[in-house]
Structure 1
Amino acid sequence: MKYHPLDSRLFVRNRQKFMKAMGPKSLAVFNSNDIYPVSADSTMPFKQQSDIFYLSGVDQEESVLLLFPDALNPEFREVLFVRETNAHIAVWEGEKLTKERAFEVSGIQTVRWLQDFEKVFFDLMTEADTIYFNTNEHYRQAVETETREARFIKKCKDQYPAHKVAKSNPILQKIRGVKEPQELDLMKTACGITEKGFRRVLDFVKPGVWEYEIEAEFLHEFIRNRSTGFAYTPIIASGNNANVLHYIENNQPCKAGDLILMDVGAEYANYSSDMTRTIPVNGRFTKRQREVYQAVLKVKDEATKMLIPGTIWAEYHKEVGKLMTSELIGLGLLDKADVQQENPDWPAYKKYFMHGTSHHIGLDTHDYGELKTPMKPNMVFTVEPGIYIPDEGLGIRLEDDVVIQKSGSPVN
């Protein structure tokens, strides 16, 4: 891994929080992600499943974490299974975790080879009444590929039909949303790398450069600062491309007089950053561009002030919508009649600002976290209003990552 070694105490605390929320005589299992094939003998780069990383720090394929707080033998209350390594694997694939190194990374005393999983799991299931399955219940999820976790759940239900089933996700939504101080430090590092990339690009952008060249400049700066690269597919959208919310082709030249919207973020140690900036290609805003930019900036700044403990996510978005409506009227894009006649399910401002303003961010760019309960200190949210005017070839979005504080305004 490119990142510096992490303090295993973070993962010890995370496991403690999870196990405290488990029911009596219950066992939880977390699987690593697969390495997914592309074609021939090619594979996609490995990306660890966020929950097993959150609970163990293990950043390696073919790993399994088992938690059983009520195990009769204390040795088996936390068990980490990793793929057995050898000299052949070291030559062909590189260094893999030994049992000793797995303990150093995770803080888990009991580390076994993966080949021992079925035997240990069967023995512990004879003591357990309930098993927690780790299903993906993120509100944006749209999984079509069968994951390693899904295969395990299917097999487990078939082999252990008498056990009760519970869900890990509600616990993870609650505890992953509130960041530990060390997690905040890792996210600040990711944000700092993103800032370095942006400052590099500021000196690079000029009429005639191509969007993909800007993408390459970001990637260069990210990797040279120990990031594995982008936390998500980057959007480098010049001119009217900015009006395509998920424009990722990044294959057009940047022209004088146009703006360029850059939605990029570095990851560091699997933690994400998420930034959007919109700048003039030639270094100078037109009067109209500046008016729209200032409107987006005002909404962002005012929305940020609302991110305090006790705020309800859905209500917050309604209030941001009111702010945006006022700005769009000021820009001449809406009038009072538009607002009076609007559809409550799709307010008038949605014509020019059709996405949400904030989402949790952490190990995932759209991270797990409670959305129906009041916001809590140390939650981290994006703030990303935008105004999109295809008829004018103009799209502006600004985005920061902010930490909710116990008192006072959130901190970027």
Structure 2
Amino acid sequence: MSIPALDISPFAARRQRLLDAMRARGGGIAILPTAREVARNRDSEFPFRFDSDFFYLTGFPEPEAWLVLIAGREDRSLLFCRGKNLEREIWEGYRIGPEAAAEQFGFDQALPVDTLADELPKLIADQPALFVPMGSDRLFDRRLRIWLDKVRAMGRAGATAPACTYDLRAMLAEMRLVKDASELDTMRRAAAISAGAHARAMRAARPGMHEYEIEAELLHEFRRHGSQAVAYNSIVATGHNACVLHYRAGDAELKDGHLLLIDAGCELDGYASDITRTFPVNGRFSGPQRALYEIVLEAQKAATAKTHPGARWNDGHDAAVRVLAQGMLDEGLLTGTLDGVLESQQYTRFYMHRTGHWLGMDVHDVGDYREPGPAAADESRPWRLLRPGMVLTIEPGIYVRPAADVPERFWDIGIRIEDDAVVTESGCELITRGVPVAADEIEALMRG
């Protein structure tokens, strides 16, 4: 996987932040591998995608790489990576190699990865603490036990093993929750590419096409603008398929009078985008389709208004649910009072997911949704306070499956509207509005 030339300063700054956090816990050594290559079949692998935490700290794109950070009297950053191998490079492409890696990516030292087994016990010895991704990979856990056994075997020579272990993933999740300027720039570019792909799909869609043809339009637009991959498997769902939340693009035919729900986003330089739009295959919403669409759009507006510094994570969801529930009552999908529907959660029959999630290097990005710290004895931890630089999705929906007690005019209508929101100093910025969201604007685009 090739990554464009990167400014290494953000990666160096993140490593320093982590070293400072390690020092606050008494110092020690952090060990973090990138992802492993995975066989697809007998003689090929799935496209390699680096581990998000590893790339967040290094910017290094190749497999078989390890990051080691030492927080002590003098901080040290080391990279273990594949050595140069001219024969393998003929088959597999250019390798950066240790010498170039140290210079290009700003490490104090880079070593061949085949020296890892010999070097790690020496580096671990006499460190006060280990900072590792605890329990995330069995192979890593086995190798770590071997290295620690070697350190303990050096006890007669005066070496000691670390006395405590910290979960590196949890520390990095807190760091990654608030994006820096370089991350936000990449995410805005990814959002623009994905918005263009959704607009392309709207212009291309027509009765008689198939879901996979629309998926191809999305993929074409992603790649031709430099995106390296999809951020997740694209959802392209027409008719009743739109009521399946994680439906994959299949071979269903787009039919006149049906809606098409597309939930798709590209990954650019390691960062995800995530957009959902729902639109009529024939270019014009029917009365029932538009009625439910407007409810979902108003719910998104309500959630967006609650997305600002100082608001709680759950405030946007609560606001969206209130609008959705009232809309369901108004249209006869539910009966009773608004307070009764909210208290009984009857609305979950037609809206069964939450209104958003963190977004970043992973489409469902890391970060706790509640404030850190122990819960009070009589209540759970409060929902997370939003801060500038956090990025989240806002994605309400309504999904109506056929049932005897449901008005037939709404059967098989599935609608979701999703945008990516950056929390700013004064509110939030929807960075995915390069594709229309208002019903009239969607119809105009499809006519054009």
TM-score, structure 1 as length reference: 0.91
Question: 364, 367, 384: which is aligned to 1:366?
Answer: 364
Corresponding position of 1:389 = 400
Residue 66 to residue 386, structure 1, CA distance change in 2 (3 Å): same
Question: 48, 68, 84: which is aligned to 1:46?
Answer: 48
Residue 80 to residue 339, structure 1, CA distance change in 2 (3 Å): same
Q: Conserved in 2, the CA contact under 8 Å of 1:7 and 1:105?
A: no
* 1:45-124 superposed matches below 5 A: 45-70=47-72, 74=74, 77-124=76-123
Q: Give how far 1:136 is off.
A: 7.0
Q: Give how far 1:411 is off.
A: 4.0
Write the distance in 2 (CA, Å) between the matches of 1:132 and 1:360. Answer: 24
Write the distance in 2 (CA, Å) between the matches of 1:357 and 1:226. Answer: 30
**In structure 2, the residue corresponding to 1:336 is in which secondary structure?**
coil
Q: Give how far 1:147 is off.
A: 5.8
Q: Conserved in 2, the CA contact under 8 Å of 1:272 and 1:363?
A: yes
Q: Give how far 1:339 is off.
A: 5.2
Residue 83 to residue 111, structure 1, CA distance change in 2 (3 Å): same
Write the distance in 2 (CA, Å) between the matches of 1:401 and 1:147. Answer: 34
Write the distance in 2 (CA, Å) between the matches of 1:223 and 1:273. Answer: 14
Residue 118 to residue 244, structure 1, CA distance change in 2 (3 Å): same
**In structure 2, the residue corresponding to 1:301 is in which secondary structure?**
helix
Greater CA drift, 98-107 or 348-357? 98-107
Could you list the runs of 5+ residues in structure 1 that have no partner in the other structure? 138-145
Write the distance in 2 (CA, Å) between the matches of 1:52 and 1:179. Answer: 16
Corresponding position of 1:235 = 235
Corresponding position of 1:375 = 386
**In structure 1, the residue corresponding to 2:45 is in which secondary structure?**
coil
**In structure 1, the residue corresponding to 2:279 is in which secondary structure?**
strand
Q: Give how far 1:56 is off.
A: 0.3
Q: Conserved in 1, the CA contact under 8 Å of 2:81 and 2:112?
A: yes
Write the distance in 2 (CA, Å) between the matches of 1:92 and 1:316. Answer: 51
Say if 2:176 is the partner of 1:182: no
Structure 1: which amino acid aligns with 2:250?
A: N
Q: Kindly provide the CA deviation profile for residues 211-262 of structure 1, in whole angstroms up to 9, marking residues without a partner as x.
A: 0001111111111111122110000000000000000142211000000000
Structure 1: which amino acid aligns with 2:100?
A: R
Corresponding position of 2:38 = 36
Q: Conserved in 2, the CA contact under 8 Å of 1:31 and 1:148?
A: no
Q: Conserved in 2, the CA contact under 8 Å of 1:133 and 1:153?
A: no
**In structure 2, the residue corresponding to 1:118 is in which secondary structure?**
helix
Say if 2:216 is the partner of 1:197: no
Q: Give how far 1:352 is off.
A: 0.6
Q: Conserved in 1, the CA contact under 8 Å of 2:299 and 2:321?
A: no
Write the distance in 1 (CA, Å) between the matches of 2:67 and 2:198. Answer: 38
Greater CA drift, 370-379 or 211-220? 370-379
Write the distance in 2 (CA, Å) between the matches of 1:282 and 1:150. Answer: 55
Residue 2 to residue 133, structure 1, CA distance change in 2 (3 Å): closer
Corresponding position of 1:254 = 254
Residue 135 to residue 358, structure 1, CA distance change in 2 (3 Å): farther
Write the distance in 2 (CA, Å) between the matches of 1:295 and 1:132. Answer: 48
Corresponding position of 1:5 = 5
The alignment-based identity, stated in percent, is 34
Greater CA drift, 238-247 or 320-329? 320-329
Corresponding position of 2:426 = 407
Write the distance in 1 (CA, Å) between the matches of 2:222 and 2:54. Answer: 25
Q: Give how far 1:122 is off.
A: 1.8
Residue 152 to residue 178, structure 1, CA distance change in 2 (3 Å): farther
Write the distance in 1 (CA, Å) between the matches of 2:321 and 2:135. Answer: 30
Q: Give how far 1:3 is off.
A: 4.5
* 1:214-233 superposed matches below 5 A: 214-233=214-233
Structure 1: which amino acid aligns with 2:90?
A: V
Corresponding position of 1:352 = 350
Q: Kindly provide the CA deviation profile for residues 164-187 of structure 1, in whole angstroms up to 9, marking residues without a partner as x.
A: 211112211211010010001111
**In structure 1, the residue corresponding to 2:41 is in which secondary structure?**
coil
Write the distance in 2 (CA, Å) between the matches of 1:126 and 1:258. Answer: 65
Greater CA drift, 377-386 or 39-48? 39-48
Greater CA drift, 155-164 or 363-372? 155-164
Q: Conserved in 2, the CA contact under 8 Å of 1:2 and 1:226?
A: no
Structure 2: which amino acid aligns with 1:366?
A: H
Q: Give how far 1:10 is off.
A: 1.2
Q: Kindly provide the CA deviation profile for residues 146-175 of structure 1, in whole angstroms up to 9, marking residues without a partner as x.
A: 565444445456555742211112211211
Corresponding position of 1:287 = 287
* 1:102-181 superposed matches below 5 A: 102-135=101-134, 146=137, 148-156=139-147, 159=150, 162-163=161-162, 164-181=164-181
TM-score, structure 2 as length reference: 0.84
Q: Kindly provide the CA deviation profile for residues 70-116 of structure 1, in whole angstroms up to 9, marking residues without a partner as x.
A: 1x5x4x71101101121112101101112343235422131111122
Structure 1: which amino acid aligns with 2:280?
A: P
Q: Kindly provide the CA deviation profile for residues 17-52 of structure 1, in whole angstroms up to 9, marking residues without a partner as x.
A: 111111223111110111111331222111110000
Q: How many residues align?
A: 399
Q: Conserved in 2, the CA contact under 8 Å of 1:305 and 1:410?
A: no
Write the distance in 1 (CA, Å) between the matches of 2:315 and 2:421. Answer: 18
**In structure 2, the residue corresponding to 1:96 is in which secondary structure?**
coil
Corresponding position of 2:305 = 305
Write the distance in 2 (CA, Å) between the matches of 1:21 and 1:280. Answer: 51
Greater CA drift, 370-379 or 276-285? 370-379
Q: Conserved in 1, the CA contact under 8 Å of 2:237 and 2:261?
A: yes
Write the distance in 2 (CA, Å) between the matches of 1:225 and 1:302. Answer: 33
Structure (1 or 2) with the larger CA radius of gyration: 2
**In structure 1, the residue corresponding to 2:204 is in which secondary structure?**
coil
Structure 2: which amino acid aligns with 1:268?
A: L
Q: Conserved in 2, the CA contact under 8 Å of 1:6 and 1:105?
A: no
Write the distance in 2 (CA, Å) between the matches of 1:38 and 1:245. Answer: 27
